[in-house]
């Protein structure tokens, strides 16, 4: 399982109700269902992912996150999760507002554009970074709103969002102490647990 998905599991309570935005093939919800008896539903837009999630017994609703979460009632979930999808959204800040309206707590993970490799790539080559982790060209990419750890925390500050927990995953795909000491420089993926 992707390391960010492993990392966030302790923040999700047993028997809780979880909404997973951009749930992919349903791996996270399936695992949480088995290990924590959560009742969950995923939102997904990719047809193949929807079929895969259905086949593994995960509830999935075909839904475009860019239309918002207007279909869901206030506080209808204990936890709203969105992993590695923030940067693909047209209005990420509005979706975060919506997540905090629909769920009591939220978890957001995103690629940290402040990582030194991105800075180095841009600084040295003067070109938008392309890597194994983010393999797209600037003109043909699902990732239209990159941000850094610092950017995200600024947004939380502006919106009075409480950060309950945060962590980064370093280049060695682990939660290294060094990376967590300099998260904006050494974190490849940022992981935030937030609430209103």
In sequence order, what are the beta bridge partners of 106? Answer: 80, 194
Alpha-carbon dihedral 140, 143, 147, 148, rounded to 10 degrees:
-90
Q: Report, in Å, the least distance between residue 60 CB and another protein.
A: 5
Nearer to another protein, 12 or 188 (CB): 12
For residues 10 and 57, which CB has a smaller minimum distance to another protein in the complex?
A: 57
Whole-number minimum distance, CB 21 to another protein, in Å? 13
Taking CA atoms, 136 is separated from 16, 57, 86, 87, 143, in Å, by 36, 32, 16, 13, 8
Q: Give the residues lining the site for another protein (CB under 8 A).
A: 17, 25, 39, 41, 47-48, 50-55, 57, 59-63, 71-73, 76
Distance CA 140, CA 149 (A): 24
Could you tell me the smallest distance in angstroms from the CB atom of residue 144 to another protein?
23
d(CA 42, CA 63): 9
Specify the DSSP class assigned to residue 166.
Answer: E
Closest distance to another protein from the beta carbon of 72 (Å): 6
Which whole-number Å values give the CA distances from 121 to 61, 130, 132, 137, 180, in the listed order?
38, 8, 13, 14, 22
Residue 78 sits at the vertex; the CA angle it makes with 89 and 143, to the nearest 5 degrees, is 15
Question: Least CB distance from residue 89 to another protein, whole Å?
Answer: 20
**Nearest Cα residue to 191 out of 168, 162, 158:** 168
Cβ 161 to another protein, closest distance in Å?
Answer: 24
Closer CB to another protein, 19 or 108, in the complex: 19
Closest to another protein by CB, 49 vs 184, is 49
Measured from the CB atom, the residue of 62 and 157 that comes closer to another protein is 62
Indicate the residue among 76 and 143 with the shorter CB distance to another protein. 76
């Amino acid at each position: 399982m992707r390391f960010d998905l492993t990392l966030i599991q302790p923040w999700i309570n047993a028997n809780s109700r979880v909404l997973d935005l951009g749930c992919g093939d349903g791996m996270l919800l399936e695992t949480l269902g088995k290990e924590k008896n959560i009742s969950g539903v995923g939102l997904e837009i990719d047809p193949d992912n929807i079929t895969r999630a259905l086949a593994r017994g995960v509830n999935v609703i075909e839904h475009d996150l860019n239309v918002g979460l207007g279909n869901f009632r206030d506080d209808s979930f204990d936890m709203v999760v969105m992993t590695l999808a923030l940067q693909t959204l047209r209005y990420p800040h509005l979706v975060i507002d919506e997540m905090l309206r629909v769920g009591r707590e939220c978890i957001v993970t995103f690629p940290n554009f402040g990582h030194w490799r991105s800075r180095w790539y841009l600084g040295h080559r003067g070109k938008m970074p392309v890597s194994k982790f983010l393999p797209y060209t600037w003109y043909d990419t699902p990732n239209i709103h990159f941000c850094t750890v610092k950017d995200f925390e600024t947004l939380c500050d502006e919106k009075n969002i409480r950060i309950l927990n945060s962590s980064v995953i370093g280049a060695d795909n682990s939660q290294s102490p060094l990376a967590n000491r300099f998260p904006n420089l050494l974190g490849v993926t940022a992981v935030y647990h937030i609430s209103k």
